[in-house]
């Protein structure tokens, strides 16, 4: 069994009458000859590592070693506690947890790359917000990680998941696309709806460049993770409403690849363009490397 496209994934789910998550567990078990239980437990361990990163990050107000990030997850928490926020608690908590994880990453704390460290905030953001709001169990969220891995697996093998190869669309774009599909499946949507959500989320981030200020995974990466959670929820809501992506998901992924190949080197994690070369970006870089 091999998984080459979203089309193949959907046809497998349909003929076998299984969820995307179950399909991934089946495939992993077939490839590795490990039991479903072993595979499930290993994934659950990763979920717990993600939870630990959220917990450590959300109440840690200390700055990253660079001094240019840190403390915003704490601010977001105080804002939520004020009870007067524009977005509802599902979105605001997802934002807070994504920020907590990405700030933990910037501090060289332990995180789980989903699919990369630079984009590690989006998935824990949406998962632990779903848990807080709808009381999902850790097991249900673990299934969500299998859904995420199947979607990410196809994206990663047909395109790329590194900012240096394909820009931020490949990192936060892929993470957000995975997260959108996860939300749909956790909320009881069909595999077809999940893949539409993935397509709609990825389409929204096509072309996003990788332009880290001072070469650090902090500015603008942390906030892009935060915003990614909102795009994931919007895409999932559209899919659950029965709205479809006009462009099939496999073609969206192919587009992301094509756009990444055409993206100049200056906008692929070299810090030679984009926000990295704004006057403020340059000033931060000078201060960092003259210390």
Partner 1 sequence: MDFQSCFDIIGPVMVGPSSSHTAGVVSIGKFTYELLGGCQPERVRITLYDSFAQTYQGHGTDKALLGGLLGMGTEDVQIKDAIALAKEENIDYQFLLEKDHCPYYDHPNTVIIVAEVGYRRVKVGGVSLGGGLSQIFLINDAETAIRLSTEDDLRSICNRLPLYMLTNHQQEV
Nearer to partner 1, 238 or 249 (CB): 249
Question: Nearest distance from residue 105's CB to partner 1, in Å?
Answer: 3
**From CA 213, how far away is CA 14, in angstroms rounded?**
45
Of these, 5, 18, 49, 60, which contacts partner 1 (CB under 8 A)? Answer: 49
Q: Give the nearer residue to partner 1 in terms of CB position, either 79 or 153.
A: 153
Residues 6+ apart with CB under 8 A from 115: 152, 155, 156, 161, 171, 174, 175, 178
Q: Does 110 bind partner 1 (CB under 8 A)?
A: yes
Closest CA to 255 of 151, 168, 161, 159: 159
Q: Determine the straight-line distance between the first and last CA of the chain, rounded to whole angstroms.
A: 53
Options 19, 66, 176, 193; binder of partner 1; rule CB under 8 A? 66
For 183, other C-beta atoms within 10 Å of its C-beta total: 29
Measured distance CA(60)–CA(161) in Å, rounded? 29
Each residue 141-160 as x (binds partner 1 by CB under 8 A) or -, in order, gives ----xx-xxx-xx--xx--x
Measured CA to CA, the distance from residue 207 to residue 212 in angstroms comes to 15
Q: How far is the CB of 148 from partner 1 (least distance, A)?
A: 6
Q: Does residue 250 touch partner 1 according to CB under 8 A?
A: no
Q: Give 193's contacts (C-beta < 8 A, 6+ positions apart).
A: 184, 239, 240, 242
46 touches partner 1 (CB under 8 A): yes
Q: Applying CB under 8 A, which of residues 6, 10, 19, 28 lies at the interface with partner 1?
A: 28
Q: How far is the CB of 242 from partner 1 (least distance, A)?
A: 28
Question: With 0-12 CB in 10 A as exposed, 13-18 as middle and 19+ as buried, what is 277?
Answer: middle
- 288 lies in the site for partner 1, by CB under 8 A: yes
Under the rule (CB under 8 A), what is the footprint of partner 1? 2, 24-25, 27-28, 31-32, 39, 42-43, 46, 49, 65-66, 104-118, 120, 123, 145-146, 148-150, 152-153, 156-157, 160-165, 170, 178, 212, 214-218, 265, 268-272, 288-289
């Amino acid at each position: 069994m091999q998984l080459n496209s979203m089309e193949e994934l959907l046809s497998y789910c349909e003929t076998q009458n299984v969820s995307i998550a179950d399909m991934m567990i089946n495939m992993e078990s077939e490839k590795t000859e490990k039991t479903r239980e072993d595979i499930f437990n290993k994934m659950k361990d990763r979920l717990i590592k993600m939870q630990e990163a959220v917990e450590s990050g959300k109440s840690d107000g200390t700055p990253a070693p660079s001094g240019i990030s840190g403390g915003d997850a704490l601010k977001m928490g105080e804002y939520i506690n004020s009870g007067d926020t524009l977005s509802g608690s599902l979105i605001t908590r997802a934002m807070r947890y994504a920020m907590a994880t990405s700030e933990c990453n910037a501090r060289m704390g332990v995180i789980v790359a989903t699919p990369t460290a630079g984009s590690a905030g989006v998935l824990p953001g949406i998962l632990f917000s779903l848990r807080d709001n709808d009381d999902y169990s850790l097991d249900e969220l673990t299934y969500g990680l299998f859904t995420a891995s199947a979607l990410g697996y196809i994206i990663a093998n047909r395109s790329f998941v590194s900012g240096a190869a394909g820009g931020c669309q490949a990192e936060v774009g892929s993470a957000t696309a995975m997260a959108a599909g996860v939300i749909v499946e956790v909320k009881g949507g069909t595999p077809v709806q999940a893949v539409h959500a993935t397509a709609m989320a990825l389409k929204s981030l096509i072309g996003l460049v990788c332009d880290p200020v001072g070469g650090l995974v902090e500015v603008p990466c942390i906030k892009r993770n935060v915003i990614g959670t909102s795009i994931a929820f919007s895409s999932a809501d559209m899919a659950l409403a029965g709205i479809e992506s006009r462009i099939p998901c496999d073609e969206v992924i192919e587009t992301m690849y094509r756009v990444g190949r055409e993206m100049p080197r200056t906008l692929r994690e070299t810090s030679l363009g984009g926000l990295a070369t704004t006057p403020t970006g340059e000033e931060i870089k000078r201060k960092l490397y003259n210390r």
